[in-house]
Amino acid sequence: MASKRLIDQMTAILGPEGVISEREQLRSYECDGLMNYRVVPDLVVLPETAEQVQKIVKLCHDEGIPFVARGSGTGLSGGALPVEAGVLIVLSRMRRILEVDIPNQRVVVEPGVINIWVSQAIADEGYYYAPDPASQIISSIGGNLAENSGGVHCLKYGFTTNHVVGAEVVLPDGSVVDIGGGKAPDAPGYELLGAFVGSEGTLGIATKITLRVVRKPEAVSTLLAAFKDTEEAGDAVSGIIGSGIVPAAIEMMDALCIEAVETAVHPGFPEAGAILIVELDGPQAEVETQFQQTIEICEEAGASEIRIAEDDAERALFWKGRKAAFAAMGRISNDYYVQDSVVPRTELGAVLKRISEIGREAGMRVANVFHAGDGNLHPLVLYDNDVPGEAEKAEDVAGEIVLICLEHGGSLTGEHGIGKDKMKYMPKMFTTDDLNVMQLLRCAFDPHHLCNPGKIFPTPRLCGERPGPFRMHPVQKAGLAENF
Amino acid sequence: MDNRNDSLDPRQSGNPYDAMDATERRTDPSTAQDQAGAQAVGAGSPQDLPDDTFASRGAVRQTVGIGRSTETGSYVFPAFDDHHPPEKDLIDDCVHCGFCLPTCPTYVLFGEEMDSPRGRIYLMNKALTEEPMNDQMVRHWDLCLGCMACVTACPSGVQYDKLIEATRGQIERRYQRSPQDRAFREMIFQLFPYPNRLRLAAAPLKLYQRFGIGDRLRKAGVMDMLPKRLKAMEALMPMLTEQQEVPEVTAPVGEKRRRVGFIKGCVQRVFFSDVNSATVRVLAAEGCEVVAPKGQGCCGALSVHAGREEEFQRFARNLIDEFEDQGLDNIIINAAGCGSTLKEYGYLLRDDAEYAERASAFAAKVRDVTEFIQELGPVAERHPLPVSAAYHDACHLGHSQGIRRQPRQTLKQIPGMEVREIKEAELCCGSAGIYNMVEPEPATELGDRKAKNVLNTGARMVVTSNPGCMLQIQASLKRMGESMPMAHPMEVLDASIRGEPVETLLRQ
């Protein structure tokens, strides 16, 4: 628990309504979208202005208290997991759109603004904000920036980093800086923005973010194609990309995933071993020609059914099915463990085959839903936390999947971030020297290791510390002891 | 990193870059020009965004931090007993994705995790497995409006309705509320579920209203001295109209298509008796023989939403007794809040050996009146009503029963009728059963927000299917110095079928 003194100091900055210090209330903040790790923060603060954030961080810096920033708490790598004896800075009340500047294609927002609000705010002008993570109805721009979030349309339009042009940042010592450009697109000097976007909250807290918005395409065409299995669907993906078409999105879901989604949001997906959702956008003429080409490629690859979205409503239904995929897993399994590895597109077929083998050998169900276009896999290992040993087994299977991806020249994470969850795999992908360079950068921003410590980089294991997801001690479960 | 050139380290005192005027490139971002730009663009902003999103529009006052104060120091361990605690299986359906957050009224207002469905379920899990039930937990569960917007939003199919009902049952049985809180809740539950008592209580109200006592007291500042909950009740009191009694049996117009039971509701019967009369006339016009048993009491919806299980069961059994031997094809309700509970009778009486099956059979016959009319297929002639109406989804109709299309369809089948959508339609108006009486501050904020969105539609009138929503929106409009004609879909349809002029509806 936080000291009375700290509570008083924070209350002086934020007023009583901005400080949470009661145990039960703190516990609801003990994990983000990933429930496998839980740490009760000492204090939760809810600033409403950049100035308050600056004061909070300054106070933490002066007192040597570690702190973690959190947006909507939907992250899937434990990036917003609180630190012990630390302060959790929740930005959900900083949710104002500060400026809409269509002629310069920019929108300035506070970090707690929900991703989809940006597109809604400029819809009438014919513009939208391109990065669209599946959680876009709730995830915050600040969180998107920290994780360099992707989304189904990032194949063509790029990740968050391609759409953030500037940020006002509170550094870990409490100073405030502007990084990146203003209205002019390119600022000289070091590309600090590139380092900051995707730094998973370890380099500072963005309090004002300038986003690049883009014009809505003239035409959009979406189809859904059903295949016998993921290999066939994979062939179609290779075929489409190989032909020179750059689709706005290509998404694949396997049978298990289709089943879950169908129960959850009833998008009317066909029964199949795998389905692809392919979306093309751009000038009318180009979309028309390439769409026809895409249909032919899918047919050649053996598609048993091709459904074309007749209108916006049907397109929205396709995407609703795709975007609810993770959450829908709750329909067919109590718990799941999701990975976020990336593999070269050419390795997709081989890797998917290995994944299903690994699952079969371990006797675990693995559902697959992923951004097929850029090889970003999301294998979901299903398990039941209440069955002893299943959580460990699921983690082992997920770990093996990661290693397979690395073997095939892939990467640990496409968009969810390393956070707490994948840091132990970092040495598998990077050499010590590689990691040291990253540490040097981090130390330049945060020499005292106060800003979201214990994330990204593997830490030596302490005495008695056990790897793996959170497990309650039996004594604790019986109500005889509690975590402090 | 320690061997850097200290003279250039910006952390040292003074800014070493000052001499280069490098800081000049960073002009004050909030220039008047920028703000004007934001305002200009903000004007044409789209439907779906909350008003306080735009910095240029100024923030809406927020009741943040209201869930923080604690009163009694009560502490119950273990938090739940074995009689229907929130089910672990249902809790485990929640994967913590957070998709429910943007539609939860309290999260929208406070921006706090423990006042979101995800947070409340998390606390239930804690209470179920390790933590005692204490003031804070109860406070956050109490603050839930039970609007079930989260049930609509949840992709994992979490049955939050069952979870919160089970939790509230445990709270009411095990947790010690403060004496004032207990007394106030008891007063509500001794009054509202009993139409006769409510009518008696309403009688002096009529004099009170006729002589404008409320307005005079308000002017004299006396109202400010009332406790906030009583003040909220006073503000919500509707203008009383002449009581219209529904006959026990109403013959169908023309050929009989169905024999249906009609549930009169409590608040509906006393304060909105003309809605009941209109409903019965519409049903008869559509070829239904309508049976409204005289002995029927409350359906128990208010009780079950507040966790008063035994009281609910008593009401439910009585109502089943009244209706089951009447040879009915369907049982019709025109109040959303009652409808959602009536449809759950089977589940809610599952432990009752004598009534469980009968309750399921009863529930299977229950239909919201708009749902029923669309199912049956309208036959009565609709006369034109050239008017624009904003349709407000009552949470217990839209979220709890999934009935959104039917009431709109019912209105659109009337020639000349234009149905307008209200921004933030999924967001509760704050009425929520007894919520606006026990939690007046957040309820008022939500009510004002809804009223503003209703006004922004520019419609001539507002139509909704729940008496609570009507009272709530009316109270907020009045507070804002506005007014707008209000009607139940059945009143609108009745006017159309009877060929009344549109002015009848627009008369307040």
Domains of chain B, first to last: 75-174 (1.10.1060.10), 196-508 (no CATH)
Q: Can you point out the beta strands (E) in B55-134? A: 75-76, 133-134
For the record, the structure tokens of A22 come out as: 């009661």
Chain A with chain B: Cβ pairs closer than 8 A = 177
Angle, alpha carbons B87-B93-B94 (nearest 5°): 105
Q: What is the dihedral of CA A314, A320, A321, A324, to 10 degrees?
A: 180
Q: Is A96 on the interface with B (CB under 8 A)?
A: yes
Q: Within a 13 Å sphere around the CA of A58, how many CA atoms are in the beta-carbon half?
A: 11
For residue A443, pLDDT beyond 70: yes
Question: pLDDT truncated to tens, each residue of chain B (508 aa)?
Answer: 344 444 444 444 444 343 333 333 233 333 333 333 333 222 234 556 766 666 544 344 456 655 555 556 777 889 999 999 999 999 998 989 999 999 999 999 999 999 999 999 999 999 999 889 988 899 999 999 999 999 999 988 899 999 999 999 999 999 988 888 888 888 888 888 888 888 887 777 666 666 676 676 666 666 666 677 877 777 777 766 777 889 999 999 999 999 999 999 988 888 889 999 999 999 999 999 999 999 999 999 999 999 999 999 999 999 999 999 999 999 999 999 999 999 999 999 999 999 999 999 999 999 999 999 999 999 999 999 999 999 999 999 999 999 999 999 999 999 999 999 999 999 999 999 889 989 999 999 999 999 999 999 999 999 999 989 999 999 999 999 999 999 999 999 999 999 999 999 998 5
- Under a CB-based contact definition with an 8 Å cutoff, are residues A272 and B162 in contact? no
Domains, chain A, in order of start with CATH, read: 4-90 (3.30.43.10), 97-215 (3.30.465.10), 219-327 (3.30.70.2190), 333-422 (3.30.70.2740)
Angle between helices B467-479 and B440-456 (to 10 degrees): 80
Contact A327 B156 (CB under 8 A): yes
Contact B48 A477 (CB under 8 A): no
DSSP string, B187-247: HHHHHTT-HHHHHHHHHHHHHHHHTTHHHHHHHHT-GGGS-HHHHHHHHHPPPP----PPP
Contact B99 A135 (CB under 8 A): yes
Q: How far does A396 lie from chain B, in Å, by closest CA?
A: 20
- Under a CB-based contact definition with an 8 Å cutoff, are residues A112 and A142 in contact? yes
Residues on chain B touching A25 (C-beta within 8 angstroms): 68, 112, 114, 136, 140
Nearest alpha carbon to residue A444 among A61, A188, A171: A171
- Under a CB-based contact definition with an 8 Å cutoff, are residues B376 and B255 in contact? no
Nearest alpha carbon to residue A168 among B22, B38, B55, B30: B30
pLDDT value of position A338 = 87
Average pLDDT of every residue of chain A: 90
Segment A324-328 shows an average pLDDT of: 83
- Chain-centre distance of CA B52, in angstroms? 22
pLDDT value of position A380 = 92
pLDDT value of position A153 = 87
For the record, the structure tokens of B226 come out as: 């009332």
Residues on chain A touching B1 (C-beta within 8 angstroms): 440, 443-444, 447
The single-letter code of the amino acid at A146 is A
Residues on chain B touching A27 (C-beta within 8 angstroms): 122-123, 126, 131
In chain B, the residue whose alpha carbon lies closest to the alpha carbon of A184 is B25
Q: How far does B474 lie from chain A, in Å, by closest CA?
A: 29
Question: How many angstroms separate the CA atoms of B160 and B179, rounded?
Answer: 29
**What residues form DSSP beta bridges with A20?**
A44
pLDDT value of position B233 = 76
Contact B155 A327 (CB under 8 A): yes
Residues on chain A touching B142 (C-beta within 8 angstroms): none
**Ranges A284-293, A392-401, B183-192, most confident:** A284-293
Judging by DSSP bridges, how do beta strands B486-487 and B461-464 pair with one another? Answer: parallel
pLDDT value of position A188 = 81
The single-letter code of the amino acid at B221 is G
pLDDT value of position A471 = 53
Segment A158-166 shows an average pLDDT of: 94
For the record, the structure tokens of B283 come out as: 């049903």
For the record, the structure tokens of B217 come out as: 């007291």
In chain A, the residue whose alpha carbon lies closest to the alpha carbon of B96 is A33
Residues on chain A touching B102 (C-beta within 8 angstroms): 114, 137-138
Selected residue of A135, A138, A437 to mutate for chain B interface (largest B Cβ count, 10 A): A138
**What residues form DSSP beta bridges with A207?**
none
Question: How many angstroms separate the CA atoms of A440 and B3, rounded?
Answer: 12
pLDDT value of position B207 = 66
CB-neighbour burial class of residue B325 (10 A; exposed 0-12, middle 13-18, buried 19+): exposed
Q: Can you point out the beta strands (E) in A339-468? A: 365-371, 379-383
For residue A92, pLDDT beyond 60: yes
Rg (CA), chain A: 23
Residues on chain B touching A22 (C-beta within 8 angstroms): 68, 70, 136
- pLDDT category at A45 given cuts 50, 70, 90 is very high
Nearest alpha carbon to residue B482 among B436, B450, B434, B505: B450
- Under a CB-based contact definition with an 8 Å cutoff, are residues A276 and A235 in contact? no
Nearest alpha carbon to residue B339 among B275, B292, B403, B284: B403
pLDDT value of position B22 = 31
Judging by DSSP bridges, how do beta strands B387-392 and B461-464 pair with one another? Answer: parallel
For residue A438, pLDDT beyond 50: yes
pLDDT value of position A482 = 58
- Under a CB-based contact definition with an 8 Å cutoff, are residues B106 and B63 in contact? no
- pLDDT category at A472 given cuts 50, 70, 90 is low
pLDDT value of position B508 = 57
Nearest alpha carbon to residue B260 among B161, B162, B184, B367: B367
Q: How far does B373 lie from chain A, in Å, by closest CA?
A: 26
- pLDDT category at A460 given cuts 50, 70, 90 is low
Q: Is A473 on the interface with B (CB under 8 A)?
A: no
- Under a CB-based contact definition with an 8 Å cutoff, are residues B331 and B263 in contact? yes
pLDDT value of position A277 = 95
Task: Find the largest Cα–Cα distance for chain B.
Answer: 97
Out of A24, A326, A440, closest to residue B137 by CB: A24
pLDDT value of position B36 = 30
